[in-house]
Amino acid sequence: MKYAYYPGCSLEATAKEYNQSAKLVARHLGVELWEIPDWSCCGATAAHNNNHLLSLALPARNLAIAEAEGLDVAVPCAACFNRLRAAETAVRESESMRATISEIIGRDYRATNKTRALLDVMVNEVGLEKIKEQVVKPLAGLKLAAYYGCLLVRPPKLTAFDDPEDPMAMDRLIDALGGEAVSWSYKTECCGGSLATARGDIGVRMIYQVLRHARDAGAEGVVTACPLCFLNLDMREAQAAAAHGDQFQLPIFYFTELMGLALGYAPKDLGLTTHFVNPLPLLEAKEILRHPATRRETA
């Protein structure tokens, strides 16, 4: 199983643990990730808010490189995934758009390849059965809120991935890893994205709502598939709680980090030591870091 890999800018910076853990678990599960050489930024929200054509051309450049190699593209970042899908769909649906984009990026691009979210590849291509077979350290007793945010599942016509109101891919993955996915109502609420930087008053309130609802549903941690969601929730958790006279210790995880743990990798190899909210105390309390062979017998 081979995919062109488009990490996106965040995975080289604030989300480097996502990159690290994604590559590790992919290799473990026999998924070859061919990193698109000299990939460029997808333009993110800034491009499509400012210029429609630019917002399609920037991702198309990367898709064209993968297409020339005959590969579908696997994308860990939910925001990049959404933008790449937008470009792919626009080109596939309109011959004139195809010509325009090809001219702007100076390469031929016909959208014959497909963009897939890395979560989709793991759950639906590698498959939960195969992942389950590889689990050596089940996330036993760990209650987690699967947080999808917006761009992974919306708009459904574009993402064509999971139910836009009640997606289950990550929930089923958590269960396959031996953990327990809680049922909660904020799994697709927006984290505020870049509003947290420009309008902190709004962003912090949105972040607080997500975290509070996860905690109130009994979750001990939140699982994400988006570097923006992760950064907002992890880095601003203390600020968001304080602003509302509340307090939490709710670690945030990338789904690939949890996969890595269950597959037997050490926290350090997965980047779990670089979070703002330290997840290690929780993992230790649940005895997840201990190898089953050395785990204390509980009567």
Partner 1 sequence: MERVELAGSLRRNQALKSQVEAESGVVLSDCYQCGKCSAGCPVAAWMDYTPRQVIRLLQLGLVEEALKSHTPWLCACCQACYTRCPREVNLPRLMEVVRQEARRRGLINEKKVDIFERAFLGTVERYGRAHEMGLIVQYNLQSGQPFKDAMLAPPLLLKGKISPFPMKIKDVAGIKDIFTRVRARGGDRS
Q: Please, which of residues 150-209 interact with partner 1 by CB under 8 A?
A: 150-151, 154-156, 164-165, 188-190, 192-195, 197-202, 206
Query: How many C-beta atoms lie closer than 10 Å to residue 295's C-beta?
Result: 13
Does residue 94 belong to the site contacting partner 1 (CB under 8 A)? no
What's the min distance (Å) between Cβ of 204 and partner 1? 12
* Element containing residue 158 per DSSP (H, E): helix 156-159
With contacts defined by CB under 8 A, name the span among 7-15, 113-121, 213-221, 286-294 that binds partner 1.
7-15
DSSP 228-295: HHHHHHHHTHHHHHHHTT------EEEHHHHHHHHTT--HHHHTGGG-SS--HHHHHHTT-SS-GGGP
45 binds partner 1 (CB under 8 A): yes
Which of 27, 51, 136, 166 is the binder for partner 1 (CB under 8 A)? 51
Q: Judged by CB, which is closer to partner 1: 95, or 165?
A: 165
Q: How far is CA 113 from CA 1, 26, 63, 87, 100, in A?
A: 15, 20, 8, 12, 18
In the complex with partner 1, which residue's Cβ is closer, 23 or 137?
A: 23
Q: Which is nearer to partner 1, 124 or 194 (CB)?
A: 194
> What's the chain's length in residues?
299
What SS3 state is found at 116?
Answer: strand
Q: Which amino acid is at 143?
A: K
8 versus 260: smaller Cβ distance to partner 1: 8
Out of 2, 28, 34, 40, name the contact with partner 1 by CB under 8 A: 40
CB 282 within 8 A of CB 221: yes
The answer to whether 208 touches 243, Cβ cutoff 8 Å, is yes
CA distance 84 to 81: 5
Site string for partner 1, 57-86 (x = CB under 8 A): xx--x-------------------------
Binding status of residue 34 toward partner 1 by CB under 8 A:
no
The residue within the footprint of partner 1, chosen from 274, 278, 285, 295 (CB under 8 A), is: 274
Backbone phi, psi, residue 146, to 5°: -80, 115
Could you say which of 47, 119, 174, 250 contacts partner 1 (CB under 8 A)?
47
What residues from 11 to 30 belong to the interface with partner 1 (CB under 8 A)? Answer: 12-14, 16
Question: Which residue reads 């947290």 in tokens?
Answer: 196
Residues 110-149, interacting with partner 1 (CB under 8 A):
none
Answer whether 104's CB lies under 8 Å from 87's CB: no
CA dihedral angle for residue 281, residue 283, residue 285, residue 287, rounded to 10 degrees: -140
Residue 9 binds to partner 1 (criterion: CB under 8 A): yes
Of the two residues 248 and 276, which places its CB atom closer to partner 1 in the complex?
276
Shortest separation between residue 153's beta carbon and partner 1, angstroms: 8
Q: How far is the CB of 269 from partner 1 (least distance, A)?
A: 15
Binding site for partner 1 (CB under 8 A): 9-10, 12-14, 16, 38-41, 43-54, 57-58, 61, 100, 103-106, 150-151, 154-156, 164-165, 188-190, 192-195, 197-202, 206, 235, 274, 276
